[in-house]
């Protein structure tokens, strides 16, 4: 649920919370032939905080094989380009990779989202400031996230994400974050 400091609980969230209390958190199913399955269960959940907007996200977005459209809409809005306020549909494969990595790490703290979707304008601006920003970044397609956890190192997060064998994983140790995407399986950085 996206929250700007308000602590309202929707009826849907209460119902989903009841489901969550009776099921085990699941790792995702990747949709391609070489995909992965890590003990898929009944629910998938994602927890994040955005320091730029002050928003929190804690939502169950998949139950018993079905994505929940309202939850995906919340995720799309939460991962928007905060500089331009543009929203893009976030690829569910990326959400699944992020959720699976969180589960593998066995943490309850939310991710700190540094970058989700990036508009072409934002990506161009970031490219002018840093050589590490790709011209055709998967952030432009809603297929990548840059994330941080206070209780896990960049190396721990990257190894967990790479164990999914489902997309790209970049280590950015100097900046203390990990890039996760649903593109080709690859890794880079230290």
Query: Read out DSSP for 6-72?
Result: -----HHHHHHHHHHHHS-B---B-SSTT--BSS--SEEEEEEEETTTTEEEEEEEEETTEE-HHHH
Average pLDDT over residues 104-125: 94
Q: Which domains does the chain have, with CATH numbers?
A: 11-189 (3.30.1380.10)
Model confidence, pTM:
0.78
Q: How do strand 43-50 and strand 111-115 relate by DSSP bridges?
A: parallel
**pLDDT for 9 beyond 90:** no
pLDDT: which is higher, 147 or 127: 147
**pLDDT for 140 beyond 60:** yes
The reported pLDDT for the residue numbered 134 is 82
pLDDT: which is higher, 129 or 92: 92
pLDDT: which is higher, 20 or 105: 105
> For the ranges 12-16, 63-67, 120-124, 171-175, which has the lowest average pLDDT?
12-16
**pLDDT for 8 beyond 80:** no
Average pLDDT over residues 40-58: 90
pLDDT: which is higher, 8 or 161: 161
The reported pLDDT for the residue numbered 2 is 45
Average pLDDT over residues 2-23: 40
**Nearest alpha carbon to residue 59 among 22, 25, 104:** 25
**pLDDT for 36 beyond 80:** no
- Reported confidence tier of residue 30, pLDDT bands at 50, 70, 90: very low
The reported pLDDT for the residue numbered 168 is 96
- When the pLDDT of each residue in the chain is averaged and rounded to a whole number, the result is 82
Q: Quote the percentage of the chain above a pLDDT of 70.
A: 78
């Amino acid at each position: 649920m996206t929250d700007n400091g308000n602590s309202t609980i929707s009826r849907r969230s209460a119902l989903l919370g009841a489901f969550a209390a009776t099921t085990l958190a699941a790792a995702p199913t990747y949709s391609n032939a070489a995909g992965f399955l890590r003990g898929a269960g009944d629910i998938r959940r994602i927890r994040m905080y955005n320091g730029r907007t002050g928003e929190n996200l804690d939502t169950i977005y998949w139950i018993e094989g079905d994505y929940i459209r309202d939850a995906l809409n919340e995720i799309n809005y939460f991962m928007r380009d905060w500089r331009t306020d543009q929203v893009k549909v976030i690829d569910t494969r990326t959400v699944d990779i992020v959720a699976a990595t969180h589960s593998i790490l066995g943490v309850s703290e939310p991710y700190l989202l540094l970058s989700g979707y990036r508009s072409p304008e934002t990506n161009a601006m970031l490219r002018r400031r840093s050589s590490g920003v790709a011209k055709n970044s998967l952030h432009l397609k809603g297929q990548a996230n840059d994330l941080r956890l206070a209780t896990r190192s960049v190396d721990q997060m990257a190894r967990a994400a790479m164990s999914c064998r489902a997309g790209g994983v970049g280590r950015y140790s100097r900046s203390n974050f990990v890039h996760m995407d649903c593109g080709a399986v690859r890794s880079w950085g230290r």
